[in-house]
Structure 1
């Protein structure tokens, strides 16, 4: 199962983490894993492309683990864009969770 943890501080997303594999299908054919990966990596790529914020990225070399920590000192306009991008990521992940809840779980801290 993919465990997604969204960490907030005063309603601001400060970090998110994805850990595990969906095991919906074999590696290379797992649509749940592919969808969750595309959504999360797409959000991170959008942060780099559309803002001046440089998140701290930690990931395993074999896949199955991604953690993103966001700096707290970003300019207000950039931070607002980052927050909107991440809220969009959460909406997309929740859509996957609604359909495939036995393979992905989202937790908020």
Structure 2
């Protein structure tokens, strides 16, 4: 099961954590894990390349073996909000068909 937690304040999303593997299929054939990976790495890279957030204001840790990614932005702008919300839309769409393999929750920070 992939567990996703979105970190948010009253007004904005500040980051997310992803933990685990879906167990949908064998490694290398798991479309659920691949989808979550693509969404999360796109969000991570877009923070600098699209939103213009300098790398020192983006903290992240990853462990592909355990399916772990923890990402937070220390500085936000309108574009970071769009990136985070796009990530959430992608996860919510995955949940429509693969809710046995993904959970999503929100945590106030």
Structure 1 unaligned residues grouped into runs of 5+ = none
Superimposed CA distance per residue, residues 33-84 of structure 1 (whole angstroms, 9 cap, x where no aligned partner): 000110111111111211231310111252400000110xx3xxx6110111
- C-alpha contact (below 8 Å) 2:18/2:67 kept by paired residues: yes
Separation of aligned partners in 1, 2:31 and 2:8: 28
Q: Specify the alignment match of 2:23 in structure 1.
A: 23
* RMSD value, Cα: 1.3
Q: Which ranges of 4 or more aligned residues in structure 1 deviate by more than 3 Å? A: none
Give the aligned length: 104
Structure 2 unaligned residues grouped into runs of 5+ = none
Query: Are the structure 2 counterparts of residues 97 and 69 from structure 1 closer, same or farther at C-alpha, using a change threshold of 3 Å?
Result: same
What's the TM-score, normalizing by structure 1? 0.89
What's the TM-score, normalizing by structure 2? 0.89
